[in-house]
Amino acid sequence: MNLTQSPEPISRRSLHEELVARLRTMIVDGTMAPGMKVPEKDLCERFAVSRTPLREALKVLAADGLVYLEPNRGAWVTELTESEVSEVFPVLGALEALSGELACENIMDEELAALRQHHDQMILSYKEQDLDGYFQANQRIHAGILSAARNETLVVQCEALSARMQRARYVANISEDRWVEAVSEHEEIIAALEAKDGKALGEILKKHMYNKQLSILKWLDANRETAA
């Protein structure tokens, strides 16, 4: 992996937010793999920043559970564990279910239209086997439902847990069987949302998260056996 292939300077106006976002993306998409030591010098050169803002950004990612810090030794990308997935996903499923119920009560027509567009784009990406495009549209759908819930406390809690599980939710879609199942679930999600059936949408979202959890645990188990 060449982290210094080309400079990518960041605007000073949003330095902290942009740096956190870029590092998070590198972890989620596997550019910085689980267990990897964060190459601070290379990243400083890549983003044209000093070590101070980089380390501040790493503290945010550590709070999200994406890296862990060792005094005087640096930072490492955290490994995804079965216990963490089993602990986080039931809570995330409950929060997403609540967001669905509240969204059906509060969503505006323009938000619903935007979610339909994201859904259609997600289906197109699936048909084209474009996993990156699918994942991006998928994230916009879940974020849109959460936003439509009109509950800032819920947003903060859900986003914090989602940040820890983004890597897992990305890799789990590699399985063709799970991908087909997830698309079917999303068809149910958009139908319930358009019908503004909060109870149904809450149950669908909870089921969606549970099936995702099972898929991720299966993936982790297969990877453990491969490593052994």
Q: Of 199, 92, 99, 107, which is closest to residue 146 (Cα–Cα)? A: 99
- Within the chain, all domains assigned CATH 1.20.120.530 are found at 82-227
Longest CA–CA separation in the chain, Å = 55
pLDDT along the chain (228 residues), means of 10: 59 78 88 92 95 95 92 92 93 97 98 98 96 90 97 92 79 76 96 98 97 89 70
CB atoms within 10 A of CB 156: 9
Residue 110's pLDDT is 98
- Within the chain, all domains assigned CATH 1.10.10.10 are found at 12-77
Residue 9's pLDDT is 60
Residue 145's pLDDT is 98
Protein fold of 82-227: Four Helix Bundle (Hemerythrin (Met), subunit A) (1.20.120)
pTM above 0.85, yes or no: no
- Please, which residues bridge with residue 68 across strands? 76
- Multiple choice CATH, 12-77, 1.10.10.10, 3.40.50.1100, 1.10.1040.10, 2.70.98.50: 1.10.10.10
Burial of 84-104, coded b for 16+ CB within 10 Å and e otherwise, reads bbeebbeebbebbbbbbbbbb
The structure tokens listed for 158 are 């859900």
Residue 7's pLDDT is 61
